[in-house]
Structure 1
Amino acid sequence: MPITDLIIAGIAALGAGFVNAIAGGGTLITFPTLIALGLPPITANITNTIALSPGFLGGTFAQRKDFESQKQRLFKILPVCIAGGIVGGVLLINNSENSFKTLIPYLLLIATFFLAIQVPLKKLISSKSTKETPAFLKNFGMYALLFLASVYGGYFGAGLGVILMAILGLIINETLTKLNVLKQAISFCINCTAAIYFSFTGQVEWTFAFVMIFGSISGGIIGGKLAGKINPEILRWVIVSIGIVLSIYYFLK
């Protein structure tokens, strides 16, 4: 494996960790990079999931004070999310390379769309009426939606955070900060569940994964320190633009 490939993957992960700490959308950088470096699409997706998973723990730790008040709620939700993450991982592993390759432009487009609507969605959630959510949504509806989101998270995962925020904001009457810490914790559990499963499949490029884990954590630290100095809206739309270009490229490829 050429050292230059590892350097490129490390830089991509550094960038992904950086943008995830500020605006989100890091997978739109790392996943196409791994494919460009010659990894088969499914292997690239699996390696990317393992490489970026630690970043969600950092986000949860940063909001640990808010996390304390959400522990009980989180523990009720987690079994469904973990099950969904495993199902998504199993679906990915049992997919053929050609089938997954066909889905790449659609998956990138979905992730780009959710990143594009992130800010208006947050505004909608924060202004949502505090009236009681219907009991149906609080019970079966919430678990069904979270399970489906978790399946997507285990299968591909880009844009998962925005999907989770939409579901949680629709059903749970809480502040945006508390919803965000729930989202971070759930995202971490879904990705870690899928990552643990993937680690036993023999389809992980561990050399890439270890380099990228270091890069993504470093990027997250740098992004956290510079978050107040960089306009997240500009960065978000740069990543959205990259996502649109990549989607078009893979549609035409």
Structure 2
Amino acid sequence: MNILDAAAVFAAGVAAGGINTIVGSGSLLTFPTLVALGYPPVVANVSNNLGLVPGNASGVYGYRHELKGQRERLLRLGAASLVGGLAGALLLLTLPAEAFKIIVPGLIGIAVVLVIVQPRLQKWTLARREEHSSHGGAWLWLGVLGAGMYGGYFGAAQGVILIAMLAIALDDDLQSLNATKNVLATVVNATAALLFVLMWAVGATDVSWWAVLLIALGSSLGGLLGAKLGRRIPPAVLRGVIVAVGVLAIVNLLA
């Protein structure tokens, strides 16, 4: 990896860390960057996941005040994220690499659509929540479990999925729910990352540690900046960048 490549990965990490804290979809920047630099898709995905964990954690820290009083909720839903993240990571490691190449363009496509429709989705969830209050229950737990499986396998727009489900099922303000989303996404990514490190240690998967380091440094900075300054970025601009990168990723993977 030369200096320009390293700068590109670091910059993508900064952007991804901020985007994940605010919206969720940061992998649509870091993953395509690694693929474009020549990393095999599975190696790029594993390295990307490992690198984004510190950024997730910094986003959680940035939203720490909104987490007050959420201990019971986080323990309950965090268990679903842990199980889901582990299951998704196992699928990534056990399914053939060819399957990943086939599945991921579809997942990226879904993620891009979710980013595009997010404003309408948010309005719909707000209106639904105002109509009646819910306390989550088994359906929310299962939904978080499914989002965790998705996140452990690939993860782009995991945050969009989580915030939508939380806003529908829980009677709370969106800033608190965004803080919850950040914790759950961190649990998923950290669980998958732990499994990936164990598999790397026994020679069952490959990791680019330079990419991990650069994304970790960048996403940590981006997570803190996202928590403080991210709300000033015009949402339309942010979504436009994510969608453009996602489309380029699909084209690159299918080429």
Q: With structure 2 as the length reference, what TM-score do the two structures score?
A: 0.88
1:246 matched residue in structure 2: 249
Residues 58 and 130 from structure 1, CA distance in 2 versus in 1: closer, same or farther, beyond 3 angstroms? farther
Deviations 1:27-73 (A, max 9, x none): 11110111122211111001101111222222222222221111111
1:28 to 2:28 alignment: yes
8 Å contact kept, 1:23–1:232: no
8 Å contact kept, 2:43–2:208: yes
Structure-2 separation of matches of 1:75 and 1:91? 24
1:237 matched residue in structure 2: 240
- Runs of at least 5 residues in structure 2 that lack an aligned partner in the other structure: 201-205
Corresponding residue to 1:158 among 153, 156, 166: 156
- 1:199 match: secondary structure: helix
Alignment of 1:12-27 (within 5 A): 12-27=12-27
The 4+ residue runs of structure 1 with deviation greater than 6 A are none
Compute the displacement of 1:106 (Å): 0.8
Structure-2 separation of matches of 1:228 and 1:66? 15
Residues 141 and 21 from structure 1, CA distance in 2 versus in 1: closer, same or farther, beyond 3 angstroms? closer
- Runs of at least 5 residues in structure 1 that lack an aligned partner in the other structure: none
Compute the displacement of 1:228 (Å): 5.3
Residues 145 and 230 from structure 1, CA distance in 2 versus in 1: closer, same or farther, beyond 3 angstroms? closer
Residues 8 and 242 from structure 1, CA distance in 2 versus in 1: closer, same or farther, beyond 3 angstroms? closer
Aligned length: 249
8 Å contact kept, 1:85–1:151: yes
Structure-1 separation of matches of 2:185 and 2:149? 12
Compute the displacement of 1:184 (Å): 1.0
Deviations 1:175-204 (A, max 9, x none): 212211111111111111111111111122
Bigger drift between 237-246 and 66-75 goes to 237-246
Structure-1 separation of matches of 2:228 and 2:140? 35
1:207 to 2:210 alignment: yes
Structure-2 separation of matches of 1:81 and 1:73? 12
1:220 to 2:217 alignment: no
